[in-house]
Amino acid sequence: MTIEYEMPLYRPPSEAHSLILQATIGCTHNRCAFCVAYQSKQFRVRPEKEIFAEIDWAAEEMPDTRRVFLADGDAFALSPQKMVNILDHLYRRFPDLERVTAYASPHNFKSRSVDDIRPVRQAGLTMLYFGLESGDDEILKRIDKNTTCEKMIASCQKAHDAGFDLSVTVILGLAGPQGSKRHAEATAKALDRIRPKYIAALTLMLAPRSPAYPEVYGDPDWRVLDPVETLREIRVLLCNMHADGITFRSNHASNYLALKGNLQKDKQKLIEIIDTALNDPNSPLLKPECLRAL
Ligand code: SF4
């Protein structure tokens, strides 16, 4: 046998060298306006038997596996007991396994207490990738995130209290040029309160199946930010962040400018890189439009 992935398959850039296992298919919410990732899929939990068979096969073929990423969009929707069963099997079959990670959506935390999710952390799910997207409630409403910033901060607090590391994603350009500053400032404020281990800034790209954004925003003048506006937005975000000890990255394929550094230690250096690119629109630091991808 082999692992038969149900496509399309997505993973965070930092999981490029991880074994990917689809514990679930699709996303329970599947409505965020900017996200077309799982539009073709109906959310379902895969039978434990199928997942265990793939783990057993991979354990024979790739016995040195150290990292596993549980897909799809919010594998953390699985019941804590099912997650613990999968994690126990993974750590039993891969003796060198160091970390297992998964996407988590705000909806996964709604009816769960810290005590509910702690056993999952103790069984070896080490980090959750959490999509904050924006710290501004009006923007969250427009993109149909179906939650508020305050509720997402509370979800992240639960995750931290249970012992999980967090990698939080935000999306540059979500609010168009008019709302850019507001989006960046509110997002910085929320990130300062969450204090995740990692922050990943992605840049909005519209896919052919994306909804009409001017309608999403109720603003006929809404448009995608150009590279300079995007750099200004990320600059506002960084300037307004004060929390310490966070790794900040914008190295996703969608970004115009790849940044990586530690906040606050490298903040000034990151801002200088942004300013260098802002002063020279032809800077080799900037990724050409044709090389960007979702
Ligand atoms: S919760 Fe995540 S995976 Fe689901 S639609 Fe929103 S962004 Fe996409």
CB 195 within 8 A of CB 164: no
User: Among 20-24, 208-212, 283-287, whose mean pLDDT is lowest?
Assistant: 208-212
CB atoms within 10 A of CB 288: 9
pLDDT in tens, 96-127: 999 999 999 999 998 899 999 999 999 999 99
Q: Is the CB of 37 under 6 A from ligand 1?
A: yes
Confidence of residue 221 (pLDDT cuts 50, 70, 90): confident
Q: Where do the structural domains in the chain lie, given as residue ranges? A: 13-288
Provide the 8-state DSSP code for 23: S
Pairing of strands 24-25, 44-45: antiparallel
Question: What is the average pLDDT value for the chain, to the nearest integer?
Answer: 94
* Alpha carbon of residue 219 to chain centroid: 27
Quick one: pLDDT band at residue 53, thresholds 50, 70, 90? very high
CATH number of 13-288: 3.20.20.70
**Amino acid 226: pLDDT:** 93
Least confident piece of the model among 26-30, 44-48, 217-221, 268-272: 217-221
State yes or no: pLDDT of 294 exceeds 80: no
Q: Give the pLDDT band of residue 242 (cuts 50, 70, 90).
A: very high
The pLDDT-based confidence of 247 (bands split at 50, 70, 90) is very high
pLDDT at 218: 74
Q: Whose CA is nearest to atom 3 of ligand 1?
A: 73
24 lines ligand 1 (CB under 6 A): no
Per-residue pLDDT band for 38 (boundaries 50, 70, 90) equals very high
**Whole-number Cα distances in Å, 7 to 18, 25, 39, 62, 80:** 17, 9, 11, 22, 25
Tell me the one-letter amino acid at 134: S
Tokens (6 digits) for 119: 């056993």
Rounded average pLDDT over 197-212? 86
Rounded CA separation 203/257 (Å): 10
Q: How many angstroms separate the first and last alpha carbons of the chain?
A: 30
Q: What 8-state DSSP symbol labels residue 257?
A: B
Ligand 1 close to Cβ of residue 227 (< 6 A) = no
Asked if 51 and 23 touch (Cβ cutoff 8 Å), the reply is yes
How confident is the model over 3-24, as pLDDT tens digits?
999 999 999 989 999 999 999 9
How far is the C-alpha of 27 from the C-alpha of 63, rounded, in Å? Answer: 30
CA dihedral over 8, 73, 123, 99, signed as positive or negative:
positive
Tell me the best of 38, 107, 133, 146 to mutate to test the pocket of ligand 1, counting ligand atoms within 8 Å of each CB and taking the most.
Answer: 38
